[in-house]
Amino acid sequence: MGTLSTAPRPIVSDIATQRLLPSESPLPMAPGDLGKNRVAVRVPAPVSSRMAWRRILILLSTAALTGAGGHEMYRVLQVGGVTILEAMVLAHFLVLLAWVAFSFASALAGFFVLLAHRPDVFEPDAELPAIAGRTAMLLPTYNEDPHQLTARLRAIIESLEATPHGELFDWYVLSDSTDPDIWVAEEKALLALRQAVGAPRLYYRHRADNTARKAGNISEWITRFGAVYDFMIVLDADSLMSGQTIVRLVHAIETNPTAGLVQTLPMIVNARSLFSRVQQFAGRLYGPIIAAGVAWWHGSEGNYWGHNAIIRVKAFAEAAALPQLGGRKPFGGHILSHDFVEAALMRRAGWGIYMLPTLGGSYEEVPPSLLDFAARDRRWCQGNLQHLAVVPARGLHWVSRLHFMVGIGAYLTAPLWLLFLLLGMLISLQASFVRPEYFPKGFSLFPAWPAQDPVLAIWVFVATMGLLLLPKLLSLVLVWMRGSVRRQFGGALRASAGVLAEIVVSALMAPVMMIFQSIAVVEILAGRDAGWQTQRREDGTVERRELYRKYGIPTLCGIAMAASAYAVSLPLLLWMSPVIIGLLFAVPIGALTARPASRQLFATPEDREPPAVLRRANELSATAEVGIKPALVELREDAVLLAFHVAQLPSPRVVRPDTVDANFAVGRARVDASDTFEEAAAHLSSREVFSILNDGSALSTVLQKR
């Protein structure tokens, strides 16, 4: 078992001058190709009759609920004949109801799975299984706070080293950071981490050219170091996993030779703002029922969420290399939402993709505000819409194609809901301001009354809302039924109040997200690329000017809807008030939900009884260094850090006319023209500093300025 040193030790010179990478063990990755029906690397096990019936049950339930709801909606609209606008409303309703019904059927299955399942989140003292495989722990990072990053990483290392299997794991921080100050701060934090834990198997690699983003980061590691590892566990910058969970993941994939990937269900932790606490509470309470439902009928055709999962390295290298999509961005180029595609390609090659929804010990964080969430969601929206080009790929399992369609639908439903609301208002406006023809052309004994059935419409609305809300209530029922879980949520009354409050807050935010997602879909279809932004993780506060700018469109939409509804009738305005209120008050709702909230509000079991790895990570984060110095200043003041930085640089590339770095050339010229270090540092742009940091000679020149 590996032993951790708790006392700080001086950083010796050989560590400062050595390259923190092991000997390379290349593992080739076959070029990705969506057009070829690649022969499976291994023959997948046939789907059992039990699994087939599960899938049939989910699909039949979805079809039955959609058909019944569509029939009732037709009865609402058919009074007096179905007009073109009413036919469009019916078509939109059928699509949206099918989406809701499909989610409801999966959640209902999850309820019965958990109802029959003993809540067996593993106890800290439970005996761990024996494992033998060698595993690489991969932490890709892109311009993240290095002090918080290494605090979480240290907590995971300590938790895993406390098990009997620590020596079977190697640790890699794979940096794609483009901010020069963060890059150097990462190196400083890694040196401090090595000093703190004394782990000789902690490695660091920085890519100067972050081609293909996270997917390229992982594939580059595989092609250089992957051959000596059986498995890899991919973390996110905000990931946290207990050592016991990691060992059990290795055991799960070792004992199933058909498994290519095993995914955990990460729980949200460390929420501080009202927005993030609502997301944390909802994920903790409703997440297990949803995950258990999809795992019940996905079987070996599961999905991958990009982190907190264990992957068989050989299977990934053989099958999961990603192709570049043809055409221009945002649909062409490197695949953004790579995880879905990697899972589908591995399944196409015959490897099983599984989920363990009740394992526990897997955590993540969530953006602190609705605006931060929407910014991340915009990137995910583009990635999922890119999958329109992947769905027709040859040889994919039909469940894998369904995963893509579900991801695409998650974003297309937003503009569909908006169109559904607008069509309903147009029908009401038409009925109020367009003179009806009671006696159309041709012979007719009876007038044609242009009306709908209002009573039946209310029942259809209530039934649709029931499909949306019932899974939440079923999750609450599970909490009521289990004493230990009920106490962790603060009792039945507090959990029930939390669900009610979550429904209200989420209902207020939902119309704003509908507008944001609709705008994102339109922008992407118009050809606007989302780019690759750094995600905020701590403070969710937003300046007043930014609030008005970002929430201006939702507010204007609310004003337009309110005016249109009031022009028809006061009852219509009241009927649409749940949507209109959320839009009209988008600015105060956005400001309020971004503020820090009490930890007693929407409390979860991890708040009341934090697991050991979470407590340790938060202790380390609280004492972590705050602030980042400019890179050149940091290196000039710290000779050990400078030696370490230079040691990590790759061998210089041969410069050719077509590979000249303009930023480096301009930066070197600025350095040569400067008389002092301060003058050079003041005139170098961030990109020029980044280029100079990649060249030991140029870096030495600027640092030696007086």
Q: Residue 363: what pLDDT?
A: 97
Cα separation, 352 vs 51, in Å, equals 14
Q: Residue 245: what pLDDT?
A: 97
Residue 445 CB burial class (10 angstroms; 0-12, 13-18, ≥19): exposed
Give the bridge partners for 288, in sequence order. none
Max mean pLDDT among 8-22, 33-47, 565-579, 618-632 falls in: 618-632
Q: Residue 147: what pLDDT?
A: 94
Which residue type, as a one-letter code, is found at position 108?
A: L
Helix (H, G, I), strand (E, B) or coil at 440: coil
Cα separation, 705 vs 631, in Å, equals 15
Domain that holds residue 700: 651-706
Q: Which residues contact 488 (CB under 8 A, 6 or more apart)?
A: 604, 605, 608, 609
Q: Assess if residue 699 is contained within a domain.
A: yes
Confidence band for 39, pLDDT divided at 50, 70 and 90: low
Q: Which residues contact 611 (CB under 8 A, 6 or more apart)?
A: 242, 361
Q: How confident is the model over 209-228, as a mean pLDDT?
A: 93
Confidence band for 14, pLDDT divided at 50, 70 and 90: low
Question: Which bin fits 365, alpha (ψ -120 to 50), beta or left (φ > 0)?
Answer: beta
Alpha helices in 299-369 (DSSP H): 313-319, 338-348
Max mean pLDDT among 325-339, 466-480, 560-574, 652-666 falls in: 466-480
Cα separation, 260 vs 320, in Å, equals 10
Which pair of structure tokens corresponds to residue 40? 């499976």
Confidence band for 231, pLDDT divided at 50, 70 and 90: very high
Q: Residue 439: what pLDDT?
A: 45
Stated as kind and residue range, the H or E segment containing 353 is strand 352-356
Cα separation, 484 vs 472, in Å, equals 19
Q: Assess if residue 696 is contained within a domain.
A: yes
Q: Assess if residue 243 is contained within a domain.
A: no
Helix (H, G, I), strand (E, B) or coil at 602: coil
pLDDT tens, residue by residue, 134-155: 999 999 999 999 999 999 999 9
Q: Assess if residue 640 is contained within a domain.
A: no
- Tokens 């994102």 -> residue: 520
Asked if 63 contacts 264 with a C-beta cutoff of 8 angstroms, the reply is no
Q: What percent of the chain has pLDDT over 70?
A: 89
Q: Which residues contact 573 (CB under 8 A, 6 or more apart)?
A: 562, 565, 566, 580
Q: How confident is the model over 425-442, as a mean pLDDT?
A: 60
Cα separation, 45 vs 660, in Å, equals 52
Q: Residue 11 pLDDT more than 50?
A: no
The tally of domains found in the chain comes to 1
Cα separation, 662 vs 676, in Å, equals 23
Q: Which residues contact 27 (CB under 8 A, 6 or more apart)?
A: 222, 223, 225, 226, 227, 313, 314, 317
Q: Residue 198: what pLDDT?
A: 79
Q: Residue 661: what pLDDT?
A: 85
Asked if 84 contacts 45 with a C-beta cutoff of 8 angstroms, the reply is no
Q: Assess if residue 590 is contained within a domain.
A: no
- Tokens 């300590």 -> residue: 158
Cα separation, 206 vs 187, in Å, equals 9
**Of the candidates 455, 460, 457, 437, the residue with the CA atom closest to the CA atom of residue 447:** 437
Average pLDDT, whole number, for the chain? 88
Q: How confident is the model over 414-424, as a mean pLDDT?
A: 90
Asked if 514 contacts 417 with a C-beta cutoff of 8 angstroms, the reply is yes
Q: Residue 446 pLDDT more than 50?
A: no
Cα separation, 183 vs 204, in Å, equals 11
Q: Residue 453 pLDDT more than 70?
A: no
Cα separation, 694 vs 48, in Å, equals 55
79-83, 190-194, 323-327: least confidently modelled range:
79-83
Q: How confident is the model over 621-650, as a mean pLDDT?
A: 91
Interstrand relation of 231-234 and 309-312 (parallel, antiparallel or unpaired):
antiparallel
Q: How confident is the model over 495-516, as a mean pLDDT?
A: 95
Q: Assess if residue 620 is contained within a domain.
A: no
Name the DSSP class of 389.
Answer: G
Confidence band for 668, pLDDT divided at 50, 70 and 90: very high
Count CB atoms within 10 A of the CB of residue 388: 14
Q: Residue 690 pLDDT more than 90?
A: yes
**Of the candidates 336, 339, 260, 264, the residue with the CA atom closest to the CA atom of residue 301:** 260
> What does the buried/exposed string (b/e) look like for 226-249 if buried means 16 or more CB atoms within 10 Å of the residue's CB?
beebbbbbbbbbbbbbbbbbbbbb
Name the DSSP class of 257.
Answer: T
Q: Assess if residue 657 is contained within a domain.
A: yes
**Of the candidates 279, 168, 151, 262, the residue with the CA atom closest to the CA atom of residue 620:** 151
Q: Residue 569: what pLDDT?
A: 78
pLDDT tens, residue by residue, 272-316: 999 999 999 999 999 999 999 999 999 999 999 999 999 999 999
Q: Which residues contact 490 (CB under 8 A, 6 or more apart)?
A: 603, 608
Residue 622 CB burial class (10 angstroms; 0-12, 13-18, ≥19): exposed
**Of the candidates 83, 76, 43, the residue with the CA atom closest to the CA atom of residue 431:** 83
Radius of gyration of the chain, Cα coordinates, nearest whole angstrom: 28
Q: Assess if residue 669 is contained within a domain.
A: yes
Residue 121 has phi, psi (to 5 degrees) of -60, 125
**CA count, 13 A, side-chain hemisphere, 212:** 16
Name the DSSP class of 273.
Answer: B
Q: Which residues contact 514 (CB under 8 A, 6 or more apart)?
A: 414, 417, 418
Helix (H, G, I), strand (E, B) or coil at 138: strand
